[in-house]
A and B are shown apart, each in its own frame.
Chain A
Amino acid sequence: MAVARLKFLDKGEEELIDRMSIKCLETIGVKIKSENVLKMLDKAGAKVDYKAQVAKIPESMVKEALRSAPKEMTLHARNSKNNLRIPVTSWPYTGTTGLGTYILDLKTGKRRDSTVKDIADCVKVADALDGASYVQTSLTATEVPQLTHGLHELWTAFQNTTKHVQGIEIYDAEDAKKQIELGSLIAGGREELKKKPSFTVIHCSIAPLMFEHDAVEAMVEFAKAGVAITTMTMSLSGGTAPVTIAGTLVNANSENLASYVIGQTASKGARTIYCSSSAPINMATGMINYESANLPLIATGLAQMAKRYGLPCMVGDWGLNDSEKPGLPHTFSETMGIALTTMTGTDMQGGIGTLDNAKGMALEQIVIDSYVWENVRMHMTPFEISEATCALDVLKQVGHGNTFLSNIHTARNFKKEIIVRDKNKGRFEATLSSSMVAEAREIAAKLLKEHHVEPLDKSVLQQGNDIIRNYEKQILGK
């Protein structure tokens, strides 16, 4: 099948990035702030300097990890119709964003701290929209104990969607174990979770080349439990990575390879998704610049590297608003940069509903991002190129200089071959504008009111609530 894909590197350049990444891991190494994980890697063949907390990873370990890592997988959902099979052959699966700390209230339009109820609303609206194929846990539950907010977020998401859930917050290894318990409840047991992972998690390395103690130990737990780990590098050109695109790609690729080594050493065959959210920094503010022209180029380079290794990947971004108000506030060249990251061959991407560099969210924005995405993804429709579709016999029948319009072949195939955009959604696509917000608000309110999400089984719900409550008692002494 023919599918539109952006390409950036030629074969020689892919080769160079691979070679440099290996050199980087072998000679510079990664800093891992966990003695347990360092020991584990040491035993598996890495050269570890415990004082400096640096593990130098030999090429053989990388090769072995790439061999044992699964090349395809299914990300499960409560409703199996919503399962995600990766890698994709057409457009990527697109999810909501995570993990902001505020929401714009749908009624007042005012900004306020987000709560469990807001997470439930965001997830429910995303559940109703065709543009969202899975949900991230979306927002921070600010009213619950800080040490357990990740658990509340994951549990709330499970209750409000039958789509696949991607968790963002991992506090430490203990927290991970509790998340695994919750996931097992949804999957129907520990072994079932291993077979049918009901959620994935995002694990961020700290660029350049560093892994935090708690996060990396949590990652080991998830690997063992069979929960797919999305190993997100945030290599920011000029900030946390070299300013050159080549240097940024090497850093991002090296961190991903290191994550694969950690995951596969912890548990051979652990599900892992190659992931990046990398862009240059804005030189004026030092913040990540998602509107940069370099963004799609970096994403494309990394998608190519993932494909080269045969790994599923999440290197695209969708989410059209880095301002604090809903709408499409960016110019169309900036918006296009985001759209291009979706055409890289990435299998997944988050971002629906995001505001303000993922600091906040709005229900209206979920509707807008989802609607626009439904039109953008059509560019990645796969087409059959075969003797039948080539239609030489038709060409012969029609004859030189004549028309195909009245030929039966046209009538039979035009719905399959000609993509028709939803013109009604066109008015959602005014850049530098917030003209579509009022309509998006009405749609969000309607979906909240009318959309039904199959509730969790009562006993499962009870057990999950108990897991969180008991854990809170244990660590908070409540």
Chain B
Amino acid sequence: MATARLRFLESEEEEYVHEQSVRVLGDIGVLIRSQRVAKMLADHGANADKKGVVKIPESLVEEALRKAPKEFKLCARDPKKDLSIPVSSAPFIATDGLTVYMYDLETGKKRTTTKKDLADFARLSDALGGVDFFWPVVTAYDVPTVSHNVYEMWTSLMNCTKHVQHDSITADEARIEVELASLLVGGEKELKKRPIFSVVSCPIAPLSFEKGAVEAQVEFAKAGIPVVSMSMSLSGLSAPVTMAGTIINANAENLASLVISQVASPGAPHIYSFESMPIDMLTGYMNNSAPELPLISAAGAQMAKRYGRPSMIGGWGVGGDTPGIASSLLDCLPYILTTLTGTDLVPGIGALECAKGAALEQVVIDSYLWEDVRGFIRSFKFDDETAALDVTRQVGQGNSFLTHPHTAVNLRKELFFFNKKRQGWWATLSDGMVPEAREIARRLLAEHEVPQVDKSIARQGEEMIKNFNPDQAS
């Protein structure tokens, strides 16, 4: 099948990135701030020093690449919404996650967010065709800080029948999350078969792993929960300013993360991931609209394919500081290009201001626009039938195919039609589409029903979270 893909590296450059990454891991190593995990790696052939710097030999990397599954499913409460990766056409798209404020749907004012808001985002995302899986979009500020991750995961699962992906920063959190999800699927064995959630675990660039997150990663690996090793290698800040240096840093972190998972539990599902880009040299912030973003992303997707790893690279979402499309065409283009890299998963729907905020209207806008963008990333069959030489012979030189039955039969399969009714939404530097998006969000929230979880299971889950006390548990 033919599918459009953005490429940045030549095969020799891919090879070079791999060689250099192996050198990074063997010569410089990664800093692992958990003695337990550092020791685990040392027991398996890595070289750990007292400070926690772990040098990983090439053999361990190769072994991890061999053992990690090349394809698997991100399951959902509703099995019809399971996602099989890798994809062969457009990637699966998720919302953005854990923003700290939202624009109120009724007042239009900026405010902090609650568990109820998160439930609204989850239900709206459940209703929209452009959203394939769900990141908890907003932070729940009305629950205890120590357990907010757990509340957010549970609230998401209660209000969305699609796959849920979030993060976790301690081993205790990881364990209770595995227990909670097990409640919904009927046990830990079942969860291993049908992981209805996955987690994002970010190394800290350059080349270090925080204690809580890496210990949580080990727990998830053991439980069969897919781990996304999101490297945030920011050129000039947390990675060398050169493209080559940034890509190698991000690749090396991904390989290190893969080794950790495979050593903890051989065969553990693991997803290669970049969210890497240059910083804005004036402000020091991540520069989401940098022209290099799609280049780094394309390289990441290429490296993932080279290793046969499913991947989550880049972002989708055109929100600026307020709902609408505040960006220029060219500020939007990098996002679109990242979705063309061959990545399997992409988050980002609904976010504003570099993922600091969110809006329900923006979820609708980003989701609708995505339904058009993915028109560029369809797969086409190439064979004698579609090459259609017999048809050309019948039509004859200089004549028209318009009336030939081959045209009528294949029209809808081969040509993509942008949704004409939504054309007005595609205005850059504009918020003209926001009122309509607001109406749609209101209507879907009022009308869309998410099948409820069995009441006794919901109650058990809530009890578990209430009793969750990470200090006692550890």
Contact = CB atoms under 8 A, between A and B. Distances in A.
- Which DSSP category, helix, strand, loop or mixed, fits chain A's interface? mixed
Given A238-B407, A297-B376, A404 B329 contact: no
A409 interface: yes
Contact of A328 (B291, B329, B397, B401): B329
Given A337-B376, A378-B291, A418-B235, A16 B402 contact: no
A234 interface: no
Given A292-B416, A385-B243, A433-B429, A245 B397 contact: no
Interface string A291-322: 11110110011000000000000000000000
Interface stretch (A116-124, A160-168, A205-213): A205-213
Contacts of A339: 333
Contacts of B393: 27-28
B328 A333 contact: no
Interface residues of B, number: 104
Interface residues of A, number: 106
Given A206-B398, A331-B418, A400-B207, A5 B6 contact: yes
A246 B380 contact: yes
Contact of B53 (A250, A291, A400): A400
Contacts of B463: none
Nearest to A12: B382
Contacts, number: 350
B56 to A, nearest CB: 13
Interface string B247-273: 111000000000000000000000000
A7 B415 CA distance: 19
A19 B334 CA distance: 36
Contacts of B386: 242, 244-247
A336 B333 contact: yes
A244 B16 CA distance: 39
Given A250-B389, A379-B294, A400-B31, A208 B401 contact: yes
B298 A4 contact: yes
Interface string B22-47: 01100110110000000000000000
Contacts of B430: 430-433
Contact of A429 (B235, B243, B426, B428): B428
A172 B298 CA distance: 47
A193 B32 CA distance: 67
A405 interface: yes
Contact of B380 (A209, A245, A379): A245
A163 to B, nearest CB: 25
Contacts of B4: 6-8, 296-297, 300, 340
B427 A401 contact: no
B242 interface: yes
Nearest to A344: B4
B359 interface: no
A386 B244 contact: yes
Interface string A211-238: 0000000000000000000000000011
Q: Which of A17, A209, A390 has the most CB of B within 10 A?
A: A390
A281 B245 CA distance: 45
A392 interface: yes
A245 B249 CA distance: 39
Chain B CB within 10 Å, residue with most, of A7, A12, A418, A427:
A418
B473 interface: no
Contact of B414 (A27, A237, A389): A237
B299 A2 contact: yes
B345 interface: no
Contacts of A403: 237-238
Nearest to A53: B397
A208 B426 CA distance: 35
A395 interface: yes
A146 interface: no
B242 A390 contact: yes
A332 B243 contact: no
Contacts of A185: none
Interface in A39-66: 54
A31 interface: yes
Interface in A58-93: none
A189 interface: no
Contact of B389 (A20, A396, A431): A20
Q: State the 4 A-B residue pairs at the shortest beta-carbon distance, nearest first.
A: A331-B426, A400-B31, A429-B328, A31-B397
11 contacts: A6-B6, A9-B2, A208-B398, A240-B400, A379-B337, A390-B248, A401-B205, A410-B240, A414-B236, A431-B428, A433-B430
Interface of B: 2-10, 13, 16-17, 20, 23-24, 27-28, 30-31, 53, 204-208, 235-245, 247-249, 278-279, 281, 284, 290-292, 294-295, 298-299, 325, 328-334, 336-337, 340, 369, 372-373, 375-376, 378, 380-384, 386-389, 391-393, 395-402, 406-407, 410-411, 414-416, 418, 423-430, 432
Given A208-B395, A330-B426, A400-B31, 14 more contacts: A8-B4, A17-B387, A246-B383, A250-B392, A292-B416, A294-B416, A331-B425, A375-B330, A383-B244, A389-B240, A395-B249, A400-B208, A430-B428, A431-B426
